[in-house]
Amino acid sequence: MPVIKKHNVHIRGNGDAVIMFAHGFGCDQNMWRHVAPAFERTHQVVLFDHIGAGDSDLSAFDPSEYTSLSRYADDVIAILRRLGKQQAVFVGHSVSAMIGVLAANKMPELFSKLVLVGPSPCYINDGDYFGGFERSDINSLLDFLEDNYLGWSQAMAPAIMGNPDRPELGQELTSSFCRTDPKIAKQFAAVTFLSDNRADLDKCTVPALVMQCSDDVIAPIEVGKYMHRHLRGSSFVQLKATGHCPNLSAPEETVAAIKSYI
């Protein structure tokens, strides 16, 4: 199947430069609807859905292939190559931040800058490294997800979103999780939360901005600072926005930080 249809790719805007937005776990390209339009005057804006999300082609998911974030990075590369785009700004939220780093390591010529929103190279604490979770925490999370995906979505989405004073945001993320194919989501969750890509940070030669939210239960401030230290020449900004999804909770601040960097 053509990669454009496979990933439900949409291109908007009239600028010469290219900016690609990649969504996080349990989401789809719609999560960028408050951010992406701000770049359409100056950029060609590329939006897509990871396999299993949004209006992607579910039949294209092969569980024997999608066993690491590297496979998702291959999809990002395939989209840009099919579109004939190089020197793109890649904006990746959550797990897509590391997918972007892996893609840039494989084909750095395709990317001019990386914007990493709430990234984490490893969610599990390991010696002096603080990822935010013990291995037992992740195992419990994945067991809950496996046993009751709907219940997991309803419990986890509001916590991930944060901003309890704005419950509509948590409800939107819950709905997004529930629209994701459960079988694919379960495998993607395991690939995401058990991944350890710390060794890949030092290999990255593409300039990067680490955007860290305040009070983020998924990617604590220590993780953002670790990313910044290990990505050579990277920039770091801590947003006033709280929670893990500033593209929904604080789109104006998110847009301003991206524009200031690029």
The residues annotated as belonging to the active site are: 94, 216, 244
The alpha helices in the chain, defined as continuous H runs, are: 3-6, 69-83, 95-106, 135-147, 149-161, 167-179, 182-193, 198-201, 221-230, 246-249, 251-261
Distance CA 4, CA 251 (A): 27
Distance CA 46, CA 59 (A): 23
In degrees, rounded to 5, the angle at the alpha carbon of residue 36 between the alpha carbons of residues 30 and 38 is 145
Query: How many residues in total does the chain contain?
Result: 262
CB distance 206 to 108 below 8 Å: yes
CB distance 239 to 211 below 8 Å: yes
